[in-house]
Chains A and B, each alone.
Chain A
Amino acid sequence: MKKTTVLQVCMVFVVCSLQAVIGSPVDCPDQDTAGVSCIISLEKLLERAVQHAELIHHIAEESKLLFDEMLISFGVVNLHISEGTMCSPKTVSVPMSKTEIQQISDKWLLHSVLILVQFWINPLVDVQASLMNYQNAPSALVDRSKLMSTKITSLEQGILVLIRQILGEGGLVLEGPEDTSDHFVSSDTFETVRRDYSVIYCFRKDAHKIQTLLKLLKCRQIDKENCSLF
């Protein structure tokens, strides 16, 4: 009796695996008949979001170093960025203590990340455009700024999909703070350089924030263990 049961179970496995092999890659139901569309699993989405955030942070670090080298080559030695003047809005603060982390919700996490991401899309696009106008900007820096702006836009799409899936909120598109962004075009080269440098300098910090928050979210959603920021 046992033997036959085992054999039957094995046959079931074989059949299922065969079906998986023979069948089409994704069997989504027809859109006409059922309103259910195929979606990518939450696990994959979160993993891709974290990867994007890590990549963006890494490229931001490299961009800052390249910019420093460029400034040295230009002969600009002391381009000091005063803290707190032009960096990210203070509305988004990262919780530090364990109690704070336990108190914040997934909703808060997602919205915080979305705010941060949307805040930086336009400045990065501007920096990319500005760097194209430099005379001797290194190509590595230009490529990286391009990649940063591309990836941050993609990440925004991802966060929106996540919000839709996790929170069930549809169509929540926060209008980016375009009104408050500074699209000034300064004729002063020094000011332009200073602004570009400050964008990259501040964005590096926020990229780390985004990465941290997304990792925490992933830990909560997937691992569901004692997740902490440290």
Chain B
Amino acid sequence: MLCFLLLTLHWMTVTEALQSSKEDGKRPYIYRCRSPNMEIFTCWWHPIANQDNITYTLLYTMGERAPQECPDYVSGGINSCFFDAKHTQIWEMYCMNVTAHTHTGPITSRKHCLDVVEIVETDPPFNLTYIMLNESIGEEGRNVLVSWLHPIESLVHEQLMMLVYELRYRNLAQPDNWRVMERLREPHVEFLDLPVGRYEFSVRCRTTSNKHWSVWSESIIVTINGRALSDQMLALILVTSIAIMIFLFISLGNIRRGMCRIKSFFLPAIPKPRIPGLEPALLKKGKIDEIDQHFSSFHGYRSPQYCTETCSHVSVDTRPAVTPSIIQSDGIQEDVLIRTITPSVLIGPIKQYVTCPDGQQSVQTNCTPAPYCHSPAPYSEEDTPPPYPGPAHPELTSVPGMNYSMILSPAPTTPPTQDFYTCVNGVMPSGALHLVPYLLFNQRPDDEAEKKSQLATLLEMQKEVLLSTIESNPSEAGMPS
């Protein structure tokens, strides 16, 4: 089967070749017929070679009608037949042949049949023009609108002859690279963003009903100038703008600082209190030991000593010669002695031994106004209860029921906040003063104050008891029950 097909194909090609070769020499041969607009058409034939003075006649038939001779042998050129509008119609086929009247006899060519609509080969479009559009900044190419005119000059409506266009263009820098836009229905086309360069455009057309294209129209050259920003330029612009923005941010920050400096220059800030050589941060966050270390280098600094209730246990030096006269009556041993207070001369400042938390017993004459220490307070020897810090007199008081006695001698430079007052409550029959402690504390802890008040109340109670016994039994004066 395959072999048979191949043989058939070969035979056909050979026959055709032979026929065409025959036509060249011995018989006239109608080789081309073309119509520009379906209203007229022309046919051309090849004459017999190497023979002159031969007349040719062309006979044609339309359908089944009688043959007619060619109406015009001239208008189409030599060896041609021109059919005008009266002789052209599109409803029937034309079949024609050419007869050469030679010396030997007439030689007739092969019959050639045609349909006028299918041999339409329009004139090429004309008046090709272009318009540059859309000059925009930042784009590399330009938009170009290329337009042309319908080739049919006579008023044959586009409806009758639907035309299809084909446009080709090339960049003249690459002359072999034609690019084609096919199947265009409108006589214009817009190119978007055509790159920089020189371009050549040309157009051709054909009717939709047949396949013969017209010849290419006259070309036009379009030059697109590069005002364009290339990619590199664009990148450069981008980088520059980013750098400018960064610079602006930094400079704004610097301006703020600069403004602060100017402000401080014109309106200097009031300096905060500072100890030269000492960092304020240390005071804020430093430990007390470190601060002590720093401060100890300063003149006259004494680190604060934090004292507890051991201050209460005071042992007093015996130097101040205070000789209380003991009221004794009937030699009754008293558990608690209430010593009278006699005005005596202040010998001197009482040295007060203070036991401090660190175990060190230091002697100090002046207690700094630490909250946990109190110095001997002055006492008053007044009759009236409101005590007033009068002249300093040493005082020895003891608390009944408590096995200690205190001699409190006021220091001349006692800070007023450390006063220890006594009030004269009454006068004993023997002439001794009955003193009641009146404690005036400032900046004492509450428990200390509470203790003192308790002491005071206790003393008060004892004295009342004593008074009552004295009143009840005057012979037993001073004898507590």
Which residues of A come within 8 Å of B, CB atoms? 4, 7-8, 11-12, 15, 18-19, 22-26, 28, 30-31, 37-40, 44-45, 48, 51-52, 54-55, 58-59, 143-144, 147, 150, 154, 157-158, 161
Contact = CB atoms under 8 A, between A and B. Distances in A.
A31 B61 contact: yes
Nearest to A47: B209
A26 B113 contact: yes
Contact of B160 (A40, A52, A158): A52
A154 B90 contact: yes
B117 interface: yes
Given A15-B5, A37-B61, A22 B95 contact: no
Interface in B265-288: none
A38 B63 CA distance: 7
Given A18-B12, A48-B90, A58-B157, 6 more contacts: A11-B6, A28-B95, A48-B117, A55-B160, A143-B155, A161-B91
A8 B2 contact: yes
B5 A8 contact: yes
Contacts of B64: 37
* 3 closest A-B pairs by CB: A26-B113, A38-B93, A161-B91
6 contacts: A11-B2, A11-B6, A18-B9, A44-B117, A150-B85, A158-B91
A144 B63 CA distance: 30
Interface of B: 1-2, 5-6, 8-9, 12-13, 16, 61, 63-64, 85, 89-93, 95, 111-115, 117-118, 155-157, 159-160
Contacts of B8: 15
B88 to A, nearest CB: 9
Contact of B93 (A22, A23, A30, A39): A39
A26 B91 contact: no
B111 A157 contact: no
A18 B13 CA distance: 9
A1 to B, nearest CB: 12
A145 to B, nearest CB: 11
A55 B157 contact: yes
A59 B61 CA distance: 32
Contacts of A12: 5
Nearest to A49: B91
A128 B233 CA distance: 67
B111 A30 contact: yes
Contacts of B156: 147
B115 A40 contact: yes
Contacts of B95: 28, 31, 37-38
A64 to B, nearest CB: 16
A40 B117 CA distance: 11
A159 to B, nearest CB: 9
A59 B156 CA distance: 10
Contacts of B85: 150
Nearest to B118: A25
Contacts of B91: 40, 45, 48, 154, 157-158, 161
Contact of B113 (A7, A38, A158): A38
Nearest to A159: B91
A39 B64 CA distance: 9
Contact of B89 (A24, A25, A30, A154): A154
A13 to B, nearest CB: 11
A48 B13 CA distance: 36
Contact of A55 (B61, B114, B159): B159
B155 A37 contact: no
A33 to B, nearest CB: 11
A62 to B, nearest CB: 9
B93 A26 contact: yes
B93 A25 contact: no
A22 B19 CA distance: 12
B92 A144 contact: no
Contacts of B63: 37, 39, 161
Contacts of B13: 22
Contacts of A7: 2
Contacts of B117: 44, 48
A26 B92 contact: no
Contacts of A26: 93, 113-115
Contacts of B2: 4, 7-8, 11
Contact of A58 (B89, B112, B159): B159
Contacts of A8: 1-2, 5
A55 B90 CA distance: 15
Nearest to B67: A31
